[in-house]
Amino acid sequence: MSSQTEFGSRAASLASIISEHTAKVEAYHKENDIPSLNFDPKDTFIDIKYPIDIEASKTAVLDATAELNDLFTGPRALVSNPGFPLLVKFVTLRFIYQFKLVEKVPLDGEISYVELSKETGLKAATLQQLLRAAMTFQLFREQRPGYVSHTSVTLFLLRSEVFRDCTGFTTEDMMPACFAIVDSLLADPTASDPSKSGYMIAHGASDPSFYMHLAKDAEKMRRFTNCMSQATAGPQWSMHYLTDFFPWTSLEAGATVVDVGGSTGKAAYAIAEKAPELQLIVQDTAEAMAAAEQQKGQNGDRPDSGNVRHMAANFFEEQSVKNADVYLFRSVFHNWPDSQAVGILKAQISAMKPGAKILIMDELMPDAEKMTLSTARTQRLMDMAMLALGNSRIRDEPSWRALCQEADSRFQLEKVTHPEGSMLALMEVVWTPYKNHPRLSYFEAGGPFGSININIIGGSEITLFVKQKPHYHGSRVERKFSGVFPAWDSRSNWTARSGHFQVDESRPTHKECPETPFVLSQFGMSAVILPTSEIETVKSLPESQLSIKHHHYNVFLGEYSYMGTKADEFDAAMRHILVRNTPVILESFVAEVDYAVDKYIGKCEEWTPIKVRHAMSMAASAMSGRAFVGLPLCRDPEWVASTTSYTQDVSRAYIYLRSLSWFTKPFLAPFSPEVRSLLRHRKVNVEKLEPLLRAKQAKSAQDGDEKQGQRSFETRANDPPGGEMLDWFISRYRKSPTAHQLARDQLLVTFASIYNLSNALSYIIFDLAAYPEHVEELRQELKEVTGTTGVIDKISLPKLRKLDSFIRESQRMSPPSIANIPRFVTSPSGFQTSTGHVIPPGNTIMVRADAINRDANLWPEPDKFDGLRFSKLREQAGNDNKFQHTSTGADNINFGHGIWACPGRFFASAEIKVILAYIITNYDLELKPETGKPGSFHYGFAILPDSEAEIMFKRRD
């Protein structure tokens, strides 16, 4: 009895809802002189766009009607005859489409079954049987017995090829595909292969996907295209949801947006109208580009817009447009199963700079409990269509998040916006290159019993002697016996909300507190950043008070990389012999540059894209190797592979070891791939240097020299240039060194030279391509100074003032670090600054390099690149020997300053000039057409060039 009461109550309630909301819709029609709802052909083309409240009433009627229909149909009929009415509807639709019956029935009249029989070749009885079934779905009508005429539904089909194609796609293509879904699951239970979808099985297709199959059949492609254009023609698909619900105008002027799979470019042109200062690139197949050309000026496109261009591309292949700010995917991913969608995301990785976004505008399945019955049926219908066509689906928010994580954990779905009234949601996915590493709070703090290191994985900031308030501009850190510091912590996003995140954070602090130390926390360490007024104090203090070696040992994993370890012979050779004998080293560079550049850049007879960071790393390795070990070892493939990958492996080990707590590190580190790689490099260096050392020892004994390296440099005149540095290192040992000791020296030189050289050279190449107005002037200087040979020697090297200026300007604009002169406080009483602050022992201090590089008081227009800035300064009286690339001082700490200024800077500067002279003389350079000047990203305190960036090279005649 109760169930009957519940049925009656629910049915009556639904009937009441239908009556109430139907009345609202009818009242709206009457108030606005709109005919009442009917199937009269004369009202066919009334396009009713309801306001939100009336649209809600329409939805309420549809929901209630659907549920009421199910209630009255009852469980038995719903199960025993679940889809027969729908099946009959589709069968009759297909019948009407195949026999072109809408075209055969007169527009304003009627036709008898007998006449239709003559035109179709079908029996009149069969026509009558099928058409009367169709009439139960408002498909045609029989106003008098035996005669067929149109309803508003069939008039739509008659008057619109688009609607006829929609019918054709539904009945000819989709229905067979839907019926074959189960067969496809039997063939591929994972439903992950688009070539085995219901559509592909139903149509006997063997192509990789539904889309490739369509491309072979013009009729099918037309039906699909017209059906999709009609399905997406309503206001719920409006481009304003794209242009108004993402902050396009907040992007920097000139920012690049790539519309991936953008078809004819409607989305790109809409964005261009909203934000004309952006540069937009539409990527799709060559066929889509041809279609875009044909559709110029149609459908609201603006193909004459100068900031939108088209390029052929396949979104399954590596993204060719590097360092864009936004990669837009509108209505792309719902067409592909997860396996392919993951592939699309992965194909973008190599192009993305830190902080870049993938903006996905696609269908989003609402939460089940939030959908009305009619909404749920519409959404599930679309979901089934995606499954039938390509084994894809309409994803809900958790599925989108899972998809991003499966592609790469560094993809972070940061924001989901589903505007009211829109069929599509906007999902902002941010590329955070280092998010896959555990979040790490690390602080080295001192106390009365020595230094303490605290590692907290995935936790909040914990620092000894620090009381830190919530983080915002003006927050403070109170440090025991230290005073007050502003504090900035970027570890929560640690290196790359944007390409200049750490600089963006530190500059406001410097501006607010130019003479106050502040704490800057980065991945793996925190440092007290000192004002520039502290340079003169810090530069001269001994290791017993402020230690650079202790800093290097901590930061660069001295236990495994040798950095910061005791190496007196190495230090002596670098600080004394190397500095005095740069001209000798110069000969090695000149002897090797042809081989190095030709091998790693190539002939480039035509414009050729070159990955600059890789090429410069290899070239720097070759030339440094020539100076250190000479021929033939410097060209040995195993040696080259080891030396070039060593610096990268130190970085990988750094990331891994910093993620370990102090008590697990001794047990896990030796077995980690990262550390084992460093140990392999040690082994390779020892194995390669041992025979070389034995040969030098034998020759020394034969020549009667007590130690190799004591021979005068004049006695080497007949030897091929190279290997001098190894001799110098050997000469500093009181007894003959072991191969292990020389391997240590070699790896120390490798890390210092290749890492910094390749980064600096990359930036300079970027600048040469970005500022071509300087290139010819530099060529002219090279010609004037070196003559016809173009060879740099000890006489011509210091005369290349313009080249020296260009190099220093590049370093000023793209320094190796945001802070420099790093020191570890070793004094038991701490380090007292001139401002009265006391930094406790066990902490790292650094000085603000960025504040100097961009100081308007030092450099007019500091944010403008001026390649001749420093050569012009040197022309002024008294400045002849100032403002050189290798000069250090309060106006340039990029090489450090004071007793621990980089001793290898003269070596590095000479090598850079030899390489650049060769490149400038023999190649033309330019930026790739689709990209701007390559950017940089932050790795802790370091600033690194984009390792994937390419510059175009072409050999000069």
With 0-12 / 13-18 / 19 or more C-beta atoms within 10 angstroms meaning exposed / middle / buried, residue 366 is middle
Q: Which two tokens stand for residue 368?
A: 């089940």
Q: Give residues with Cβ within 8 angstroms of 706, minimum separation 6.
A: 700
Reading the block at residue 864, the tokens are 């403008």
SS3 943: strand
- Least Cα distance to 936 among 488, 430, 491, 496 occurs for 496
**pLDDT given at position 743:** 84
- DSSP-assigned letter for residue 839: E
Token match 């610096």: residue? 647
The structure tokens 């085995």 sit at 196
Distance between CA atoms of residues 525 and 822, nearest Å: 12
Write out 913-924 in H/E/C secondary structure.
HHHHHHHHHHEE
Which residues are within 8 A (CB) of 622 and not within 5 positions of it... i.e. 6 or more apart?
Answer: 592, 595, 596, 599, 600, 634, 635, 640
Q: Which residue has the tokens 């060039």?
A: 945
The predicted pLDDT at position 479 comes to 32
| Three-class SS state of 882 | coil
Alpha-carbon distance of 930 to 952, in angstroms, equals 11
Segment holding 211, helix H or strand E: helix 210-215
d(CA 900, CA 155): 88
Rg for the chain, CA atoms, rounded: 37
Summary count for the chain: helices (H), strands (E): 37, 26
Q: 328 near 262, Cβ under 8 Å?
A: yes
Residues whose CB falls within 8 Å of the CB of residue 566, separated by 6 or more in sequence, listed in order: none
Structure tokens at 68: 């009421």
Pairing mode, strands 518-522 and 525-530: antiparallel
Helices 397-407 and 338-349: crossing angle in degrees, nearest 10, is 50
Question: Is residue 670 reached through a cis peptide bond, with omega within 30 degrees of 0 on the bond before it?
Answer: no
Amino acid, res. 844: T
Task: Print burial letters for 546-570: b (CB count within 10 Å at least 16), e (below 16).
Answer: bbbbbbbbbbbbbbbbbbbeebebb
pLDDT at 264: 85
Of 637, 650, 651, nearest in space to 679 by CA: 650
Alpha-carbon span 514 to 531, nearest angstrom: 6
Judge whether 365 and 336 are in contact, CB under 8 Å.
Answer: no
Rounded CA gap, 395 and 403, in Å?
Answer: 9
Q: Of the listed 203, 213, 334, 551, which one is catalytic? A: 334
The residues, ordered by sequence, that sit 6+ positions from 549 with a Cβ below 8 Å of its Cβ are 543, 564, 565
Does an H or E element contain 348, and which?
helix 338-349
> What pLDDT, in 10s, does the model give residues 23-53?
998 898 888 888 888 777 666 545 677 888 8
The whole-angstrom separation of Cα 855 and Cα 365 is 52
Listed residue (496, 490, 494) closest to 519, CA to CA: 490
- The rounded distance, in Å, linking the Cα atoms of 575 and 716 is 22
Find out whether 404 is annotated in a ligand binding site. no
Position 619 scores a pLDDT of: 92
Could you give the residue ranges of the DSSP H alpha helices within 704-822? 724-731, 739-770, 775-786, 801-813
Q: Which two tokens stand for residue 675?
A: 């550390």
**In this structure, what token pair is assigned to residue 674?**
């990262």
Place of tokens 């091929």: 720
Torsion 271-272-276-277 (CA) sign? positive
C-alpha distance across the termini of the chain, in Å? 99
C-alpha–C-alpha distance, residues 683 and 685, integer Å: 5
* Cα torsion through 931, 933, 937, 943, rounded to 10: 160
CB 674 within 8 A of CB 652: yes
Give the length of the chain: 957
Which residues is 308 bridged to in the sheet? Answer: 280
DSSP 8-state code for residue 720: P
Give yes or no: 29 in active site.
no
- Name, in order, each residue with C-beta under 8 angstroms of 163's C-beta and a sequence gap of 6 or more: 156, 157, 230
The list of the chain residues with pLDDT below 50 reads 1-4, 45, 299-304, 434-502, 706-715
